[in-house]
Amino acid sequence: MLNQNVVIIGGGVIGLLTAFNLAPKVRSVTLLDRSLVGQESSWAGGGIVSPLYPWRYSPAVTALSHWSQDFYPRLAERLSAMTGIDPEVHKTGLYWLDLDDEAKALEWAARMQRPLTSVDISAVYDAVTVLGGGYSRAVHMADVANVRNPRLVKSLKAALMAMPNVVIREHCQVSGFVRDGNRVTGVRTEEGDVLGDNVVLAAGAWSGDLLSSLGLALPVEPVKGQMILYKCAADFLPSMILAKGRYAIPRRDGHVLIGSTLEHEGYDKTPTETALESLKASAIELIPALADAQVVGHWAGLRPGSPDGIPFIGPVPGHPGLWLNCGHYRNGLVLAPASCQLLTDLLMGETPIIDKTPYAPAGRLNG
């Protein structure tokens, strides 16, 4: 254990899991959130434990996602045992329908040794009897799971609150950094300065705004996404399905998520009628029976958009004591276990789980 205090800015799944990893290794962890923990993109996302189209991403994203996919079941079991709150890692598999780049997907799977296979469309209709008509081709990955992200956040928060050396401060907005020369020694809040030996910036879409106070330009921006939720029978949809960029995700209790939009609207996360109608149309095209189902939820969240979806993980050059774990774009929940373990390894001076180079802030910031 290192005799140091760590301050974490941001209480989404990245901040919470970073705190969870660091707490057993340092003297204290203080986690600050501008609102309530886990109420932004971590709550709003779908929770598929895979990038939507993994073969379209860089090897940097693939490396994080593979590590996380393999780790998630163990994490869920551990959190459930600690807190009694099951994050519900639900292994349903995923069918991609009528892909334009199916050959690329299968080549990627062969190269990466991932269990993605082409399947006869009749087999898909046999397996997913509620699927809409008109689809002609499919590929399937049987081991893809989804995590019930609101419960993951709730479980992580409960686990942290049970740790004697962790403090969670909600409704505590960080306005800037405390510095001793170039070294970052804490953060400024309306309630006073919070000091630490190391500060981790994990504020999602708001990370760039904070880093700009140091004269650094972090290319992370909010990207709005809207989703809708139906309540169906528990056995209504046996698998996740994805077509034309829209997906359906079944939860264990029969809730079915349909998502999502991609909108560049700044920090506005107001749900819109236009998106609602578009999502309903996609839902009915995928699963016609949803035309008679009630929408029980419609919301919007802000993803932390970043170039190529590659997160920033590691120390900020020229500002010792400051670390980044942000910019996960559409894959925060997917990449969280690996990202937070990598950040922990680097901060603690331990051997990193994967090559740190692609995620290093050095050379990727302007200022």
pLDDT < 50 positions in the chain: none
Residue ranges per structural domain of the chain: 2-45+151-218+307-359, 94-142+221-305
Burial bucket for residue 363 (CB in 10 Å: 0-12, 13-18, 19+):
exposed
Distance of CA 261 to the CA centre of its chain: 16
pLDDT at 32: 98
Domain spanning 2-45+151-218+307-359, CATH architecture: 3-Layer(bba) Sandwich (3.50)
pLDDT value at residue 2: 74
| Spatial distance between the Cα atoms of 173 and 272, rounded to a whole number of angstroms | 28
Architecture category of domain 94-142+221-305 in CATH:
2-Layer Sandwich (3.30)
- Residues facing residue 245 across a β-bridge: none
pLDDT of residue 1: 62
Each residue of 285-308: pLDDT tens digit?
999 999 999 999 999 999 999 999
| Closest C-alpha among 152, 147, 149, 153 to residue 36 | 153
- In terms of pTM, does the model score above 0.75? yes
Three-class HEC string of 268-287: CCCCCHHHHHHHHHHHHHHC
Q: What is the pLDDT of residue 180?
A: 96
Rounded Cα distance between 239 and 255, Å, is: 12
Residue 79: its H or E element: helix 59-83
